[in-house]
């Protein structure tokens, strides 16, 4: 009898891998019955990391969104799945245990059935509470392996992690091939080994299509016992996203597997609706490059979704690096040469810092270390000159045990700086905080919400939730959308100063009380590169500012010049873009 393979539509991750925002609740509920009519999905990834935070950013209640989105799917017998980052919950930094526990209670009440939990380090200790809380509240606990390709990410490494997941009580195993760099044959061997040892475990494979291996990987894992495959659908499939359900279904059916039929009329309707959502507003925040696959990702191992931000980083620093080279009598680098130089540096740095799984947030850390090393090399400075505290926290073990050893020079540098290594349980560093947030809600007169879901959102996303409740988030999003629309109307061929003038005049008209931030020197503007510690990182629109806070940087011939705010307030709008050349005294942003 043919083995049946189930499909999970990664509707959340389709948008996450393509751009910045997710659909609104009205859009989600509009497409839900069409997804049901497609008839081929046993699961839909409905929410999780970034989803709730994005809702807050454009002024929508994420709890209402999750409840309304999951309701029609579950009524049709489709399981709803979410993604969470273990120690980091739904955000980019660690979460206290009491807040993590409340998350599972809330998500169960909101209609979530399956929770996929992952740690980029594959430190099983970070997943112990996730599995415990999922089981406590009657959710299906899926413990994920973050898939990488390196000498330390061996079959034995993964199986040892699976052993602990099973000991903790996980019901399923996820293979999270977040960069799509898992080699098909190796993935097949891993699935086979897990199934032979633990035949009761359900195995679900999640592979991005960026480097081009995912279809072969899907076939290999299915041949070796996988049960569920994550798929996407047009117009968001392929590129840096996931393989399309039509292609996966055809391939697996030809290979002798039992797979569900697809109602193509419903598929085309869902495709049209998704495009309508993009045309409404979501497309303004989608990176076009994310529609393109590139095998270059196999060399550096970075997730495809990072290509857009990485290219923006390179654009911002390219001119500065070439001026530095020319000053020392060396040939300038083309953008392609610089890209390859960065890829090579990522490949070199990655094992030196313990070979963390290249997934959020560790992929960002490794990429930024490499980028700053390229800068240091061209400036004639030692490697690792520019290191941020969150990168050191990863290296020192505060996020969990690194899969591989640290290079001796990294250990020596840590000791030179007086840092201490940590090998305890990372969760122990973050005491409970719910009483603090209960008190805050009482003081503000805010309701904790049904099943304490509003309390949870405040505790998980404090700054974004407060901005949402006080109306700033919606205002900020509307300004951001208007700026994006005006930029598109101005046309990509319009000169930067023309687009700058459009934004300048609009802000002056809408907010006459806004105060300008000006460039202190001439050079190239950098909004997306962190230089120094967290306090001196560039700030996103909507960030509260104190006088003297670093807003961004200008790349000059002699180095990076911070741009300070001269006022207390909130970063209202940016006028000049990443990588744009500015002159001393140019207005680059406004504070209100």
**DSSP secondary structure of 5-36:** -EEEE-HHHHHHHHBS----HHHHHHHHHHHH
The residues, any chain, with a CB within 8 Å of residue 237's CB and separated by 6 or more, are 14, 209, 231, 243, 244, 245
Handedness of CA 247, 38, 48, 157 (dihedral sign): negative
Handedness of CA 492, 498, 503, 509 (dihedral sign): negative
Helix axes 25-38, 62-75, angle to 10 degrees: 20
Strand partners, 574: 589
C-alpha closest to that of 378 among 338, 349, 335: 338
pLDDT of residue 535: 44
DSSP 8-state class, residue 286: B
Q: For the chain, 592 residues long, give each residue's pLDDT as a single digit of tens.
A: 899 999 999 999 999 888 888 999 999 999 999 999 999 999 999 999 888 888 898 889 999 999 999 999 999 999 999 999 999 999 888 999 999 999 999 999 999 999 999 999 999 999 999 999 999 999 999 999 999 999 999 999 999 999 999 999 999 999 999 989 999 999 999 999 999 999 999 999 999 999 999 999 999 999 999 999 999 999 999 998 999 999 999 999 999 999 999 999 999 999 999 999 999 999 988 878 788 888 877 877 777 655 555 665 666 677 778 888 888 888 888 888 888 888 889 889 999 999 998 887 888 889 889 988 988 888 889 999 988 888 999 999 999 999 999 999 999 999 999 999 999 999 999 999 999 999 999 999 999 999 999 999 999 999 889 989 998 888 878 877 877 777 666 654 444 455 556 666 666 666 677 788 888 877 778 775 544 444 445 556 667 788 888 888 887 655 667 888 888 888 877 777 766 777 777 788 888 7
Give the C-alpha separation, 161 to 170, whole Å.
11
Do residues 407 and 354 lie in contact, with contact meaning Cβ atoms separated by under 8 Å? Answer: no
The residues, any chain, with a CB within 8 Å of residue 558's CB and separated by 6 or more, are none
C-alpha closest to that of 81 among 105, 49, 127, 38: 49
The residues, any chain, with a CB within 8 Å of residue 278's CB and separated by 6 or more, are 235, 286
Give the C-alpha separation, 103 to 397, whole Å.
25
Task: Using CA atoms of 132, 137, 139, 144 in order, give the dihedral in degrees to the nearest 10.
Answer: -20
pLDDT of residue 495: 47
Give the C-alpha separation, 242 to 8, whole Å.
11
Tokens found for residue 532: 């120094």
pLDDT of residue 496: 47
pLDDT of residue 500: 58
Q: Omega into 180 within 30° of 0, i.e. cis?
A: no
Query: Selecting from 1.10.3720.10, 3.40.800.10, 2.40.110.10, 2.40.50.100, what CATH number does the domain 472-591 have?
Result: 2.40.50.100
Cα 273 to its chain centre, rounded Å, is: 24
pLDDT of residue 318: 77
Tokens found for residue 52: 């709730």
Cα 316 to its chain centre, rounded Å, is: 21
Tokens found for residue 466: 């407060």
Give the C-alpha separation, 4 to 257, whole Å.
6
Distances (CA, A) of 429 to 323, 397, 423, 432: 44, 12, 11, 10
Q: How many CA atoms lie within 13 A of 323 on its CB side?
A: 13
C-alpha closest to that of 226 among 237, 214, 236: 214
The residues, any chain, with a CB within 8 Å of residue 393's CB and separated by 6 or more, are 399
pLDDT of residue 306: 59
Query: Nearest 5 degrees, angle CA 99-CA 206-CA 312?
Result: 80
Give the C-alpha separation, 590 to 539, whole Å.
12
C-alpha closest to that of 363 among 382, 349, 384, 378: 349
Tokens found for residue 160: 């040892």
Q: Omega into 289 within 30° of 0, i.e. cis?
A: no
**pTM of the predicted model, to two decimals?**
0.83
Strands 114-117 and 140-146: parallel
Tokens found for residue 506: 């609009």
Tokens found for residue 106: 């809330």
| E strand or H helix at 410 | helix 408-416
Tokens found for residue 259: 């797979």
Give the C-alpha separation, 522 to 581, whole Å.
8
Tokens found for residue 398: 């505060």
Q: Which residue has the tokens 């319009």?
A: 494
CATH 2.40.50.100 intervals, the chain: 472-591
Distances (CA, A) of 299 to 41, 77, 171, 340, 468: 34, 42, 34, 9, 41
Give the C-alpha separation, 342 to 368, whole Å.
10
C-alpha closest to that of 543 among 471, 503, 591: 591
- Listing from the earlier edge strand, what are the strands of the sheet with 581-582? 559-564, 550-556, 523-526, 581-582
């Amino acid at each position: 009898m043919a083995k049946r393979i189930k499909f999970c539509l990664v509707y959340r991750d389709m948008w996450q891998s393509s751009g910045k925002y997710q659909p609104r609740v009205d859009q989600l509920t509009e497409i839900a019955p069409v997804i049901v009519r497609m008839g081929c999905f046993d699961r839909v990834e409905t929410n999780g990391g970034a989803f709730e935070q994005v809702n807050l950013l454009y002024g929508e209640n994420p709890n209402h969104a999750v409840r309304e989105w999951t309701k029609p799917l579950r009524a049709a017998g489709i399981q709803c799945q979410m993604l969470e980052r273990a120690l980091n919950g739904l955000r980019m930094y660690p979460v206290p245990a009491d807040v993590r526990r409340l998350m599972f209670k809330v998500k169960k009440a909101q209609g979530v059935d399956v929770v996929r939990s992952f740690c980029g380090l594959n430190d099983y200790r970070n997943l112990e509470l996730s599995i415990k809380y999922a089981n406590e509240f009657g959710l299906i606990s899926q413990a994920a392996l973050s898939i990488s390709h390196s000498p330390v990410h061996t079959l034995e490494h993964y199986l040892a992690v699976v052993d602990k997941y099973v000991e903790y009580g996980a019901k399923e195993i996820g293979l999270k091939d977040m960069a799509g760099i898992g080699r098909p044959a190796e993935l097949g061997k891993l699935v086979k080994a897990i199934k032979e040892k633990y035949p009761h475990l359900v195995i679900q494979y999640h592979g991005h299509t960026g480097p081009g291996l995912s279809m072969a990987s899907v076939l290999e894992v299915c041949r070796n016992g996988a049960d569920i495959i994550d798929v996407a659908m047009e117009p968001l499939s392929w590129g840096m996203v996931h393989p399309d359900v039509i292609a996966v279904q055809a391939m697996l059916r030809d290979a002798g597997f039992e797979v569900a039929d697809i109602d193509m009329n419903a598929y085309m309707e869902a495709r049209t609706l998704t495009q309508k959502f993009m045309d409404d507003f979501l497309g303004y925040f989608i990176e076009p490059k994310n529609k393109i696959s590139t095998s270059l990702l196999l060399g550096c191992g970075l997730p495809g979704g990072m290509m857009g931000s990485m290219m923006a980083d390179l654009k911002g620093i390219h001119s500065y690096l070439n001026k530095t080279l020319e000053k020392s009598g060396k040939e300038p680098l083309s953008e392609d040469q610089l890209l390859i130089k960065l890829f090579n540096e990522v490949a070199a740095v990655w094992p030196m810092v313990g070979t963390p799984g290249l997934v959020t947030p560790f992929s960002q850390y490794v990429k930024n270390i490499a980028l700053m090393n390229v800068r240091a090399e061209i400036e004639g400075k030692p490697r690792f000159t520019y290191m941020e505290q969150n990168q050191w926290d990863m290296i020192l073990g505060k996020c969990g045990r690194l899969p591989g050893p640290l290079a001796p020079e990294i250990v020596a540098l840590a000791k030179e700086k007086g840092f201490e290594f940590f090998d305890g349980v990372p969760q122990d560093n973050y005491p409970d905080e719910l009483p603090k947030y209960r008190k805050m809600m009482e003081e503000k007169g805010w309701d904790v919400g049904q099943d304490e879901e509003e309390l949870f959102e405040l505790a998980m996303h404090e700054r974004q939730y407060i901005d949402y409740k006080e109306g700033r988030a919606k205002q900020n999003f509307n300004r951001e959308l208007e700026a994006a629309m005006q930029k598109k109307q101005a046309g990509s061929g319009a000169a930067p100063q023309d687009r700058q003038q459009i934004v300048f005049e609009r802000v002056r008209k809408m907010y006459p009380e806004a105060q300008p931030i000006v460039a202190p020197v001439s050079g190239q503007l950098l909004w997306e590169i962190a230089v120094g510690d967290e306090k001196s990182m560039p700030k996103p629109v909507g960030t509260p500012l104190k006088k003297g806070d670093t807003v961004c940087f200008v790349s000059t011939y002699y180095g990076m010049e911070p741009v300070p705010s001269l006022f207390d307030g909130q970063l209202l709008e940016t006028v000049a873009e990443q990588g744009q050349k500015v002159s001393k005294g140019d207005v680059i942003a406004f504070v209100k």
